[in-house]
Structure 1
Amino acid sequence: MNSVWILPISLLLDLGLGDPQGFPHPVRWIGRSARSLEKFFRSAILSEKIAGFLTSISIYSISFIFPWLLIELFLNIHSIVSIAFSAYIIYTSIALKDLLNHSKDVYFALKENNIDKARKMVGRIVGRDTKELSGSEIVRACIESVGESVVDGITAPLFFAAIGGAAWAMLYRSINTLDSIFGYKNEKYLKFGYVPAKMDDLANYIPARLTAPILSVSAGILGHKLSQSLKILYRDGRKHPSPNSGLSEAALAGALEIQLGGRNFYSGIPSDKPKLGDPIKDLKPEMILEANKIVFLTSILSSGIFIGIGYLISNLRSIIPF
């Protein structure tokens, strides 16, 4: 499949359509299927870790095999049909427009001085408690979500699409979706969600390390301090509990010259995260829009770079089969 055409088409579809309600969407199917299989394997197997493993492997396998078979079938009909279906699958694996729209909803609520609405809007994109957040804490929560989501919602699926095609993008999306459903360190999911959490860390390892410096370069192009972004990326990027999330968040914090991290509450329980960046500037609502601009350009540049990586890999395969 020619990713030179498919990835830009997929991005345009996402920017044009977003995630319309009622539209057939594989990710929603993955979520419903995961919940059903969780009930089945929990009741059938005593070991929570094995039950979680079997649930995960089942979803991963179906998520990859089903689109792969359809792409091969459509390829036998006509290459245009296969390309169109591949673009649709990749489109459903990314969420650039939704990320930009949800974060802008937070910005507009803050500009209206409607703090309750802003708390509600930011609660759609973060897992922390939002009922008591101040205006600056809402901005921080929103920018942290944008910084984290640029990888798992945009660049990681684009990366796997570029190097392996649409089926690999959907496999990645299934890995990320299961982590968001089961990857909690609480009593219910500590063991059951072990495999989904580790698989998500593994799948995001390379995309996160490619995305963060691209984000810094994007920030520099848009007039922010490239040197500060790179400095904070390499100083603070590995402080985050997640091996991947802190990289893009740190690069974004450095670019905006703000400090992210600190204390959050989850179901009333405090959780202190390492601080990323220096508080050179105060957290202002306008920084949400600046973060969005950086993420948008990062998405465009990443797709081009990943297409190049995919092209190199395909040429290597033609020389050295593996």
Structure 2
Amino acid sequence: MLYHTAALAAGFLLDQILGDPRWMPHPVRAMGWCIQRGEALLRRAFPQTPGGERLAGAVLALSLPVGTFFLAAGAICLAGWVHPLAGFLLEAFWCNQILAAKGLRQESGLVYDALKRGDLEGARKAVSMIVGRDTQHLDETGVTKAAVETVAENTSDGVVAPLLFAAIGGAPLGLAYKAVNTLDSMIGYKNDAYLHFGRFAARQDDLWNFLPARISGVAMVLVAYLLGFDGKNAARIFCRDRLCHKSPNSAHTEAACAGALDIQLAGDAYYFGVLHHKPTIGDPLRPVEAEDIPRAGRLMNGTAVLILTAVVLIRMCLYFM
């Protein structure tokens, strides 16, 4: 048990130091390739009916995380058979790759740097790399809100959720979670192409993220107190607005972050040229400013550290009981 806990802690530290270098092979890219190939194969193999598409999508959505888990577990066991240190290093490396804390800080930092230079067009381009909405007409406030929202939302599914699943089942379960998350990001859409094929993947992602999203939101409220943000308002907005989203999981950390920073997030946004009406999250106690981007990053990182600390303490208590 301590072996896997140490690998997780080492992976967390590696993520804080290295992040996700673009030149390094990443398992999510392999998952994306498998999803594309699997989709093409299964669409041909199953009837072109709503029921057939739903069944084909379910086969893909179940087989990828299960296959990922057993492939990763087998690789770690094989490496450990060669030498225990090799197994530890491989698991720590994969724990590093499933976490995105430094990557989120870096990508949002590019938005912040462009805004501080007065380069609105550069900020729009930088934020377009990390959000799904249309960014070409956003003003400085819109760009800032988009960056803060993506850091807040991804605190759960990009950092805390994979950390929690790796704590339960090591890097293999953490990678299985990333497979679920990648499936949702690629095929979990309610459009003509994926309304039926991606339905199981979207529901599966909601299920896997149900508890991590809520744990992340509560942890971020606690971190708001610890880091000197508005913890009382974070708790109030979290309780009030955490379900102000079509997804049952996406608004928990956004609500905690908006409350902690005393700002209002979310609201209407354009996606592929179409205006989508969305509820706001938080109260506009003050105007949104560029400095809110690094503030959101500190909240995200503090939440991750708090969760890791809790995981390590719980695992050590279980080990010595």
Q: Does 1:270 align with 2:275?
A: yes
SS of aligned partner of 1:265 = strand
What letter matches 1:287 in structure 2? D
Q: Does 1:172 align with 2:173?
A: no
Shift of the alpha carbon at 1:147? Answer: 0.8
Give the equivalent residue in structure 1 for 2:148: 143
- 133, 140, 144: which one pairs with 2:138? 133
8 Å CA contact 1:163–1:313 kept in 2: the answer is no
Gap change, CA 1:236 and 1:88, over 3 Å in 2? same
Give the 5 Å matches for 1:155-304: 155-304=160-309
Give the equivalent residue in structure 2 for 1:153: 158
SS of aligned partner of 2:279 = strand
Q: Does 1:122 align with 2:123?
A: no
- The percentage of aligned residue pairs carrying the same residue is 38
Q: What is the CA–CA distance in structure 1 between the aligned matches of 2:200 and 2:109, rounded to whole Å?
A: 34
SS of aligned partner of 2:126 = helix
Shift of the alpha carbon at 1:140? Answer: 0.8
Give the equivalent residue in structure 2 for 1:67: 72
Give the 5 Å matches for 1:18-29: 18-29=19-30
* 1:51-101 Cα shifts (integer Å, max 9, x gaps): 111111221122111011112223333332221111111111111111000
What letter matches 1:263 in structure 2? D
Give the equivalent residue in structure 1 for 2:17: 16
SS of aligned partner of 2:278 = strand
8 Å CA contact 2:5–2:315 kept in 1: the answer is no
SS of aligned partner of 1:165 = helix
Gap change, CA 1:141 and 1:172, over 3 Å in 2? same
8 Å CA contact 2:266–2:279 kept in 1: the answer is yes
Equivalent pairs counted in the alignment come to 316
Gap change, CA 1:111 and 1:87, over 3 Å in 2? same
Q: What is the CA–CA distance in structure 2 between the aligned matches of 1:309 and 1:207, rounded to whole Å?
A: 16
Q: What is the CA–CA distance in structure 2 between the aligned matches of 1:314 and 1:196, rounded to whole Å?
A: 35
What letter matches 1:127 in structure 2? G
Gapped regions of structure 1 (runs ≥ 5): 317-322
What letter matches 1:40 in structure 2? L
Give the equivalent residue in structure 2 for 1:43: 44
Q: Does 1:113 align with 2:118?
A: yes
8 Å CA contact 1:163–1:307 kept in 2: the answer is no
What letter matches 2:53 in structure 1? E
Shift of the alpha carbon at 1:309? Answer: 4.3
TM superposition score normalised by structure 2: 0.95
Q: What is the CA–CA distance in structure 1 between the aligned matches of 2:319 and 2:31, rounded to whole Å?
A: 29
What letter matches 2:152 in structure 1? G
Worse overlay, 105-114 or 65-74: 65-74
Shift of the alpha carbon at 1:268? Answer: 0.8
**Cα RMSD over matched residues?**
1.5
